[in-house]
Structure 1
Amino acid sequence: MSYIRRGTHKFKMVNLALFAGGFCTFAILWGAQPLLPDLAKEFHISPAVSSLSLSSATIALSISLLLFGSLSEVFGRKPVMTFSLFVSSILCILTAFTPNFHLLIVSRILQGVALAGLPAVAMAYLGEEMEPKSLGMAMGLYISGNSVGGMAGRIISGILTDYFSWHIALFGIGIISLLASIVFLKILPPSTHFKPQKFALKQLTGSLLSQFKEPGLLYLFGIGFLLMGSFVSLYNYIGFQLIKPPYSLSQTLVGFIFIVYIVGTFSSTWMGMLSDQYGKRKILLLSLLILLIGACMTLNTSLWFKIFGIAVFTYGFFAAHSIASSWVGKAATHDKAQASALYLFFYYAGSSIGGTASGAFYGHFGWSGVVTMIVVLALTSIVVSFRLGSKTRLSKLEKLQQSS
């Protein structure tokens, strides 16, 4: 059984399917983000409390990733991903009818659980089916689907909320996601290199914990946590900043600011290819520096300069996430779905913790408080990436010594 190579018809079908799956997953997950000011106003709650509608979904998703990653080792990659997409799409439609904030939180938690199936398994699927030389680009294309889904979900929900209500916004995203799920089911090829395991809780738990012993994986988990904490901190509260004077933008215009996600679609693929050519460590560091610069640029009071800073920040984030994601698949020596699930567990835990914590910074210090928190997280991730490079080089040296 040959591996899938770049340029073939099968390569295109896999990436189109995972693009559709990523679109569905992240439109549902992040489509609630532009709704935060409306939720705060309608339910008479603070910005930090309104962010729980997002954090509740991401923390539920992060925990469920560990379950779905293990289940896919037993039931297969495509069945688990397909189940996740259809159930989460239906739940998104039902969430549109929630009458109060408490029920909305419960609905978002259920969505977070259901959404975990695709991100927990997609990276492992690619790691198993793609030839090594094509993996960087394939992972970048998958991440680009995530970025387009996140962008479209935010824009659609912003427009529909402005002209109708946040209920209609969630309903519309659910219908679109259901259609994307059908596309995924029809065109994704079944796994050819997957070997199912028997369901043994002790064995699955042991293999999950053993991932922490793999060289470099723990540092990659930390980078994922810090990256997503930074990303959600910026996007959760930029809407609050821009609907206030002196900007006073409408929800539709704030929603369209998320079109800067297009640069993430480009950077995840382009920087992923560069990492294949020049090495993951160098391009990861470059990406983190770009993220840091972009965050600092948003402190400028000029609207256009602020938007440009958001674009630069987004470019660096998706590039770094793409590289770290593919690095996990390379660093894991067994049960790659579990390793990917652990990376994403820390990634979304960073979203939940960072997104809520930065709300306190915004409440006390305004936008400069949010940016200060992002700078601290970004600098920490740069330090961790240096440690990762040292650990990786040491591991390679030890393997060479053992083989000689």
Structure 2
Amino acid sequence: MPRHLPGTPGYRALNVGMALIGLAAFGLLYATQPLLPRLSAHFAVDATTASLSLSVTTGTLALLVVPATWLGQRFGRRRVMRAGLVASVVLMFACAAAPTFATLLVLRAASGAALAAVVGVAMGHVAAEVHPSGLGAAMGLYVAGNSVGGVTGRLVSSIVVDVAGWRWALAAIGLLGLVATVLFWRLLPPPTGPVTAGPSAAEGRAGVWRDPALLALLAVPFLLMGGFVAAYNFLTYRLTAAPFDVSEAVIGAVFLTYLAGTAASALAGRAADRVGRPPVLLASIALMGAGLLLTLPPWLPTIALGLLIFTAGFFGAHSTASGWAPVVGAARPATAGALYVFGYYAGSSVFGAAVGIGWHAGGWPLTVALIGVLIALAALAATLTAVGTSRRPAVSRSERPKVSA
């Protein structure tokens, strides 16, 4: 059975299904982010410690994403994604009842393990099921689902926490994830063909270490996602303190800037198919940096505008880089895709908490400076990837190897 072509019913059904999985996964993964000040107050922990409720989840996910890819190859991608989503929903309801902060961290780490079976397989599933002519747009739509999940989860939890507390807010996210899981289960079409075995772990790693262009590209999600999560983590504390003193519900409205990522992901995916990935990726990174600078003035409208631009730039960059990874690593696309996801969530785990040192030492200005360094390094890595791939011989789409993940 041929892979899904743009405009066909299978292509549309796949895109809807993958958007739903992105919505569920991002909502569940980042459920505690808008609740960090409440967790600090309830459990008597500081901002950096409270951010561990997010970092342990993304850290566990990063560590297990490559084994999850192998599970997808062994048992089927669709089956593994379904199991991971169900487990994640159950664990979210358990988090809502956590009696201590230590218990919450254990449950959040387990959630990361379950979500590794989702996000570790999802990008590879899109790459394996979609014809190369529509891969950029399909990956953009999947990432757009991520951004919708991010804004929906944050908005729901921010509203519920004001009314009923953080436990009910987490339960509401669990319910949202359950609905998305049921719809995903029903809508995702069967695979277009049998899952083929990917390269062995040793073969995959050896190939990656010998490819400077791919190594540089894998640094992009590590750096950008780290800066992105850190910005949202500590901006929450900034807005709940003087001179803003806004409620969680208002912060939830600020998180509506995530919707910029929905549009930017889809637009960047189409633009990458038309004009090439390097210029779209570099432009998106520059946009992210410009938006970050706009958050410096202590004026809420400027912060909201800056966050809007920052978020659009991030998701544009992520959409472009994620579609580029299996192309740059064409000889080992499953490994390249898995390592991209590893870098993405490892950056979230490492810098999402580490930038807290800047927050405690110098407030928002130092936090912005540290995130700016990460963005500049990502731009350098993207440039090195563009230079490295420009020296390779051209490969036609018909000659590219089939992707399995």
CA displacement at 1:4 relative to structure 2: 0.9
- Out of 370, 373, 378, the residue aligned to residue 370 of structure 2 is 373
In the alignment, residue 350 of structure 2 is paired with which amino acid? I
Aligned twin of 1:320? 317
Aligned twin of 2:12? 12
Paired with 1:301 and 1:215, the residues of 2 have a C-alpha distance of 42
Paired with 1:325 and 1:148, the residues of 2 have a C-alpha distance of 17
SS at match of 1:108: helix
Q: What is the correspondence of 1:5-404 to structure 2 with a 5 Å cutoff? A: 5-197=5-197, 203-214=200-211, 216-396=213-393
In the alignment, residue 31 of structure 1 is paired with which amino acid? A
Contact 2:289 2:310 in 1 (8 A): yes
Q: How many residues align?
A: 396
CA displacement at 1:340 relative to structure 2: 1.3
CA displacement at 1:203 relative to structure 2: 3.0
Contact 1:75 1:196 in 2 (8 A): no
Q: 1:215 to 1:192 in 2, by over 3 A?
A: farther
Contact 2:207 2:332 in 1 (8 A): no
CA displacement at 1:205 relative to structure 2: 4.0
Contact 2:31 2:154 in 1 (8 A): yes
Contact 1:215 1:331 in 2 (8 A): no
Contact 1:70 1:204 in 2 (8 A): no
CA displacement at 1:213 relative to structure 2: 3.1
Q: 1:313 to 1:194 in 2, by over 3 A?
A: farther
Paired with 2:336 and 2:383, the residues of 1 have a C-alpha distance of 21
Aligned twin of 2:402? none
CA displacement at 1:83 relative to structure 2: 1.0
Contact 1:215 1:395 in 2 (8 A): no
Paired with 2:177 and 2:314, the residues of 1 have a C-alpha distance of 24
Aligned twin of 1:402? none
- Structure 1 runs (4+) deviating above 6 angstroms are none
In the alignment, residue 211 of structure 1 is paired with which amino acid? V
Deviates more, 1:213-222 or 1:381-390: 213-222
In the alignment, residue 266 of structure 1 is paired with which amino acid? A
In the alignment, residue 295 of structure 2 is paired with which amino acid? T
% same residue: 36
Paired with 1:110 and 1:129, the residues of 2 have a C-alpha distance of 29
Q: 1:337 to 1:120 in 2, by over 3 A?
A: farther
In the alignment, residue 13 of structure 2 is paired with which amino acid? M
Contact 1:275 1:283 in 2 (8 A): yes
SS at match of 2:325: helix
Q: Deviations over 1:304-332 (max 9, x none)?
A: 01110000000000000000000012222
Contact 2:290 2:309 in 1 (8 A): yes
CA displacement at 1:210 relative to structure 2: 2.8
Contact 1:72 1:337 in 2 (8 A): no
| CA RMSD, 1 decimal | 1.7
In the alignment, residue 337 of structure 1 is paired with which amino acid? A
SS at match of 1:396: coil
Q: Deviations over 1:111-146 (max 9, x none)?
A: 000001121111111112111111111100000000
Q: Deviations over 1:55-105 (max 9, x none)?
A: 010000111111101211221211111111111111111111101100000
Contact 2:69 2:117 in 1 (8 A): yes
SS at match of 1:45: coil
Paired with 1:84 and 1:335, the residues of 2 have a C-alpha distance of 24
Q: Deviations over 1:332-357 (max 9, x none)?
A: 22453332111111111111111111
In the alignment, residue 2 of structure 1 is paired with which amino acid? P
In the alignment, residue 133 of structure 1 is paired with which amino acid? S
Q: What's the TM-score once normalised by structure 2's chain length? A: 0.94
CA displacement at 1:398 relative to structure 2: 11
Contact 2:326 2:332 in 1 (8 A): no
Q: 1:307 to 1:334 in 2, by over 3 A?
A: same
SS at match of 1:264: helix
CA displacement at 1:209 relative to structure 2: 4.2
CA displacement at 1:254 relative to structure 2: 0.6
Q: 1:318 to 1:33 in 2, by over 3 A?
A: same
For structure 2, list consecutive stretches of 5 or more residues without a partner in the other structure. Answer: 397-405
Deviates more, 1:336-345 or 1:319-328: 336-345
Contact 1:232 1:351 in 2 (8 A): yes
Paired with 2:238 and 2:176, the residues of 1 have a C-alpha distance of 29
Q: What's the TM-score once normalised by structure 1's chain length? A: 0.95
Contact 2:261 2:316 in 1 (8 A): yes
SS at match of 1:136: helix
In the alignment, residue 48 of structure 1 is paired with which amino acid? T
Q: Deviations over 1:200-234 (max 9, x none)?
A: xx934433443333462211110010110110110
